[in-house]
Structure 1
Amino acid sequence: MSTSYLSQDEINSSSLSDPDNRDPMKINKHLQLDFFNVIAEPDPSAYSFEVFHKVSHQVYHYTKIIIYRLLTVLIGLPLMVCWGLIFGIYTFAMIWIAVPMRRLVQTWIAEIGINVQTLSDAVIAPIHRSMGQMFSSIRISLSKENIHSVRQILV
């Protein structure tokens, strides 16, 4: 999966040049929650009164904004502290623990591989070559012959 990341400068410059674009990476494109994406009256036979439609739009719009902002203050800010802690710990663990350990293990595996290769070349390969030489002179020939034998049962 190909992933492209914007640098911090690209995000800040795009956010500063267009303050209404708070999703420069388009990670929440699926959230199309505008009134007309949620409530739609497809044909004139299903239209409500014009005044009711306008009032419904205003009620929906402002209720959504007020609830979102209220929840952002009450729940969003504490969640951002939690997410900041989690991603901070994750970043620390990856940079200072996981990646160095992975590099150390890769180095050990490479060194063990060299030793195994040397041992194999010095001990195992000659044994198998000599066994191959011993069994190389064995010849098997198959032929089809009918062997008739009489079996007697002694009682």
Structure 2
Amino acid sequence: MADALDLINRDPNNINNHLQCQFEDVFAEPEGTHSIDCVWKLSYTCFTCWKGLCYKIYTILCGMCIAAGWGCQFAELSFYHIWFFTPCLKMCDINCGFLKLCYTKCIDCCIEPCCVACGMLFHQFKK
């Protein structure tokens, strides 16, 4: 499994495209309202460094525990689907198939002869 881990593209399915949080996505000075160039450059450096540093600290402190928790949640979800929900749906499918067969037999025996008789009665009326 570790062989297939892509360390370059860590969001290959674009799950978190909504998290665009580069400096340019957050800060913008409109034309006519510009700070001093050194302030803008230092703001960029501070934003980028602190965002990267804080994210790395958060992931070091919490990332593995959170991943373990989500792993347990998805394992539980898989367990319930494999061992409970899918067999229940299969049982329901089998029982509904049997009920459909019983219902069809009742309709064929009780209602169909009446419908055929009425159809034959009205069949005699011709233009």
TM range (shorter): 0.7 to 0.9
Query: How many residues in Structure 1 have an aligned counterpart in Structure 2?
Result: 123
* TM-score between the two structures when normalised by the length of structure 2: 0.81
Please report the RMSD computed on the Cα atoms of aligned residues, expressed in angstroms: 2.6
Is the aligned partner of 1:30 residue 2:18?
yes
Which amino acid counterpart does residue 36 of structure 2 have in structure 1?
F
Higher helix share: 2
Q: For the residues of structure 1 that align with 2:13 and 2:98, how far apart are their CA atoms?
A: 43
DSSP 3-state at the match of 1:46: coil
DSSP 3-state at the match of 1:59: helix
Q: Which one has a bigger Cα radius of gyration?
A: 1
Is the aligned partner of 1:119 residue 2:106?
yes
5+ residue gaps, structure 1: 1-7, 137-155
DSSP 3-state at the match of 2:90: helix
* TM-score between the two structures when normalised by the length of structure 1: 0.67
Q: For the residues of structure 2 that align with 1:82 and 1:20, how far apart are their CA atoms?
A: 24
Q: 1:150 is matched with which residue?
A: none
5+ residue gaps, structure 2: 123-127
TM-superposed CA distance for 1:129, in Å, is: 5.4
Per-residue deviation, residues 6-28 of structure 1 (Å, max 9, x unmatched) = xx8xxx37x2xxx3311111111
Q: 2:87 is matched with which residue?
A: 100
Q: 1:36-47 to 2 correspondence within 5 Å?
A: 36-43=24-31, 45-47=32-34
